[in-house]
Chain A
C-alpha cells in the first residue's frame, strides 16, 4: 500500500526511457493546482445551485460560511477551538497510517477518552489545575486503552485493525450512552426536564482548560498550544528520529523491517496506541476547553473529521494544519448557517462535496500518470522487441 507518489518509475529502461517516463515537476504542479481550482469550484457551484433551488441567494451560503468562521475575531476563535480536536485526531491517524495500521475508530477512542476525563473532572475533588492535568492524562490513557484493545486483538488473533476499530467505536458510543443516562455514573444529579436527552453535570469551573478571551472578542482555549506543541514534536520525531524511521519501514514493508531486526508488532501496535491516545486527548480537550459537559452525542463527528483530514493529506503531512483548519471553518461556519437563514444541513452537503473535491485531483493525476507510464513502457518494450527482430534471432 505504498503511496504512488513515492514509488520509483518503471525500472530497467535506458536513458531516453527515463526521460520519457518521468513527469516534469513544474507541469505536474500547475496541473494539480488547476485541477484543485476546478474541482473545488464545481463543489461550490453545486452548493450554489442547491441554495438557489430552495429560494436563497446563492452567495448567502458563502457569506454565512465566511462570517461564521473567520470574519470576526470571535468567530476566528471559535474556528480555532473547532480545529484543535481535528489536528490531534488527524495527527494520530497519520502516525498509525505511517506504520500501516488503518485506524478508523477515532470516534470511539475520542469518546472513551472523553468519558475517562469526565469521570476525573466530575468525581475527583482537589486543586483545579491538578485535577485538570489528571483529567487530560486520563483522557489520553483512555483513548490509548480503547485503541490498545484493537492492537491486542491484532497481536493475539491477527484481527484486521480496520474491522476491530470500527466495531469498537459503536461499543464505545453505547458505553458513553449508558454512563450518561445512569445516575450512578455520569448523569446530572438534578432532575432534568422529562424528555430531555441525558447529560452529565457541567464541569466545575476550576477544572476547565484556560480559555483566554470569550466569544464576541477573540479567544481560544489553551488546547491550541497543546495541539501545536504535540504536532511539532511528532513532525520532528517522524522525520528525524530512529522511531520515525522504524515506523516508515514497518509501514512500507513489514517483512523487510522484520529482517532488519525491528519488532514489527510492537512498532505497529505502538503507533495504533499513540493514535488512540491522541484521539482521547482530543476528546478531553474538547470536554474541558469547549463543551464542558458530556452528552450522548458528544463526539459530534469530530473523530470522523480528523480521520478525513488525515486521509486527505496522507501523502503530504505538511498540509495537516491547513486542512484541519478548513474542517474547523466548515464546522463553525456551518453552525452559523441557521442564524442567517441558510438551512444547516447544507453544511453537511458542503463538507461532503469539499472533501470529495480535495480528494479528487491527486488520485486523478496519479491514475493518469500511471496510465502514461504504462503506455510509455509498452512502447519501449515494443521498440526493443522490434530491434531484436531486426538483428535476427538471439542465439
Chain B
C-alpha cells in the first residue's frame, strides 16, 4: 500500500470518527454554557441515528432523513428541557432515564420497522479534491460534513457575540444575578438545550446516514460521554471542544487503523484516554479550564 493511500485511509477514518462528535460537541458546549450538564446527549444522538435512517428509507430521500434526525434530537431535548428547566426535576435523573428510555425505544422501533440501508454519496469538491494524498479524503465527502464549516462558526458567533448568547452564558455562571436583571433563566436554558438537541440529532443522523449507512443496536454507545469529555477537555470554549472532538475522534480512528497497519495498541487504554485527558486538562489547566459556575445546578425563582 502506498504512503498516500495510508494517509488517505487515516484521514478518512479521523473524519468519520470525529464528525458526529463535532456536531454534538458544538451542541453540548452551548447547553453546558447555559448551565446544563447534558448527559442525555447519547439519547439525542441515538434518536437521531434511528430516526434519520428510518425516515430516509421510508421517504426514499436522504434529506428527509437528516431533518427527521434533527427532529428526533429536538424531541429528546424537549423532554429533558421541560422536565429539568420548567419543572425542577434533577437533570441527571432525567438524563440517565432518557438514555435508557431511548435505547429501549429505538430497539423497539427497529424491531417493529427495520430500516434498510441508505447512505449519502460523497461529493467531490472541484479542484481541491485533486490535491495529491489529502484531496480525496478531505474533499470527497458526503455534503452534510461541510455543514460543520457553517455550524461551528455560527454557534460561536451566537454564543459569544449576540445578546442571546450573553444571556445564555450568564445563566450558566450566575443564574440568580441573571434573573435579577430580567433574564428568564429557565427559558434560556431550555433554548440552549433545544439547540443542543438539534445539533446532536444532526450528529446522530450524520453517523447513520453518512458513515455507517444502516442502524445498529445502541450504535452511539459511549459516544455521548466522549462528547462531554471533549467539552470538558476544551475548557468550555468552543475552540477547545472542537479540538477535543478532533483529538478523541482521531484516537478512536487510530484504534481502528493501527491494528490494520500492524501496530499493536491497548484498546482499553485508547478508550479510557478521552476521560483521562479531560481530567488531566482540568487538573493542570485549572486557570483556563473553569467550569461554568452554575453547571448542573437547578434554578428556581425564590430559592437560592
Is A2 located at the chain interface by the 8 A CB criterion?
A: yes
Give the contact stretch, choosing among A64-72, A132-140, A169-177, A268-276.
A169-177
Which B residues between 77 and 113 are near A, CB-CB below 8 angstroms?
83, 86-90, 92-94, 96-98, 100-101, 103-105, 107-108, 111-112
Is B268 located at the chain interface by the 8 A CB criterion?
A: yes
A346 partner, pick from B108, B300, B301, beta carbons under 8 A = B108
| Per-residue interface assignment for chain A, residues 355 to 378, with 1 indicating a CB less than 8 Å from any chain B CB and 0 otherwise | 110011001101100100110000
| Per-residue interface assignment for chain B, residues 262 to 304, with 1 indicating a CB less than 8 Å from any chain A CB and 0 otherwise | 0000101101101110110011001000010001111011110
CB of B229 within 8 A of CB of A167, answer: yes
CB of A363 within 8 A of CB of B101, answer: no
Which of B39, B94, B228, B275 has the most chain A CB atoms inside 10 A of its CB?
B275
Q: A53-B112, A54-B111 are in contact. Are A1 and B297 (CB under 8 A)?
A: yes
Of chain B, the residue at the smallest CB distance from A343 is B111
Is B195 located at the chain interface by the 8 A CB criterion?
A: no
Give bound CA distance, A370 to B101, whole Å. Answer: 30
A348 partner, pick from B104, B279, B291, B297, beta carbons under 8 A = B104
| Number of residue pairs A-B, CB distance < 8 angstroms | 155
Is B232 located at the chain interface by the 8 A CB criterion?
A: yes
- Chain A residues with CB under 8 Å of B275's CB are 167-168, 170-171
Is A124 located at the chain interface by the 8 A CB criterion?
A: no
- Chain A residues with CB under 8 Å of B143's CB are none
A308 partner, pick from B37, B83, B93, B282, beta carbons under 8 A = B93
Interface residues on chain B, number (Cβ under 8 Å):
50
Give the contact stretch, choosing among A77-85, A158-166, A204-212, A226-234.
A158-166
Q: A163-B291, A345-B107, A349-B104 are in contact. Are A175 and B268 (CB under 8 A)?
A: yes
CB of B104 within 8 A of CB of A346, answer: yes
Is A335 located at the chain interface by the 8 A CB criterion?
A: no
- Chain B residues with CB under 8 Å of A175's CB are 268, 272
- Chain B residues with CB under 8 Å of A4's CB are 88, 300, 303
Which of B92, B93, B283 has the most chain A CB atoms inside 10 A of its CB?
B93
Of chain B, the residue at the smallest CB distance from A358 is B93
Nearest-CB distance from A47 to chain B (Å)?
A: 10
Which A residues between 1 and 20 are near B, CB-CB below 8 angstroms?
1-2, 4, 7, 10
- Chain B residues with CB under 8 Å of A356's CB are 83, 94, 97, 101
CB of A1 within 8 A of CB of B298, answer: yes
Which A residues between 131 and 190 are near B, CB-CB below 8 angstroms?
153, 156-160, 162-164, 166-168, 170-171, 174-175, 177-178, 181
Q: Identify the B interface with A (CB < 8 A).
A: 37, 39, 83, 86-90, 92-94, 96-98, 100-101, 103-105, 107-108, 111-112, 222, 225, 228-229, 232, 266, 268-269, 271-272, 274-276, 278-279, 282-283, 286, 291, 295-298, 300-303
| Per-residue interface assignment for chain A, residues 48 to 61, with 1 indicating a CB less than 8 Å from any chain B CB and 0 otherwise | 00100110000000
Give bound CA distance, A152 to B64, whole Å. Answer: 49
Give bound CA distance, A205 to B83, whole Å. Answer: 47
CB of B283 within 8 A of CB of A159, answer: yes
CB of A167 within 8 A of CB of B87, answer: no
15 chain-A/chain-B pairs, Cβ below 8 angstroms: A1-B298, A4-B88, A153-B282, A159-B279, A159-B282, A160-B295, A160-B296, A163-B295, A164-B282, A167-B276, A170-B229, A304-B96, A345-B111, A359-B94, A367-B88
CB of A308 within 8 A of CB of B303, answer: no
- Chain A residues with CB under 8 Å of B104's CB are 345-352
CB of B272 within 8 A of CB of A348, answer: no
